[in-house]
Amino acid sequence: MMKAHDKLLLENKAWAQEVRRREPDYFERLARGQDPEFLWIGCADSRVPADIIVNAEPGRIFAHRNIANQVIVTDFNCLGVVQYAVEVLKVKHIIVCGHYNCGGVKAALSHQTPELMLVHKWLLHIRDVYRLHREELDALNSLDDKADRLVELNVIEQVNNLSHTSILQKAWKAERRPMVHGWVFGVEDGLLNQLITLGPESEIDPLYRWEDAPH
């Protein structure tokens, strides 16, 4: 019986052969370098692969994924990706994409357990979003409705977090890019819902404004 990881390797060979059949120079072109227009910050959930849900070819989207698509200013992994995308790759758009029925968001609404201690520490930031919008969320009747609305509020919060970074403010001031979009993917219908867009003209709360936007 073929093991699951062996099947992936066979699928890879079949895919590479099919691509070469259609476009003989495809991988040669890909090997020359990347020039993506988009940075995608998404959830690590296996049901939300960026390239597939927007039907994009390899090379168009530079991506970073974590549990519940968070932008945390002390997460140097995420900020390193953002800085490279903005300052080296010169992306024109950043997309923060969450998804409905998100397990991370639902876990943030549940009791913390020692078995998932590190996960719950990561999800504390989503609990903060809940706290900021407690009145609206507590007015919703079902846990699913509450979780899905928190998914949306979390995406909006992460877009705002990006706008608070010196990386974005410096690029907005000097080069008038990138635009930052907040989307939510519907796992039940496959459609994207746009929630928010910020750009160089967006007003930033003075509390988060960098005067000279250093790193």
Give the gyration radius of the chain's Cα atoms: 19
Q: Which active-site residues does the annotation give?
A: 43, 45, 47, 99, 102
* DSSP character string of 159-211: HHHHHTSHHHHHHHHHH---EEEEEEE-TTT--EEEEEEE-TT----GGG--S
Q: List own/partner pairs for 25-31 with CB under 8 A and 24 or more apart.
A: 30/58, 30/59
For residue 178, cis peptide bond before it (omega within 30 degrees of 0): yes
Instruction: For residues 100 and 153, give the distance between their C-alpha atoms in angstroms, rounded to a whole number.
Output: 12
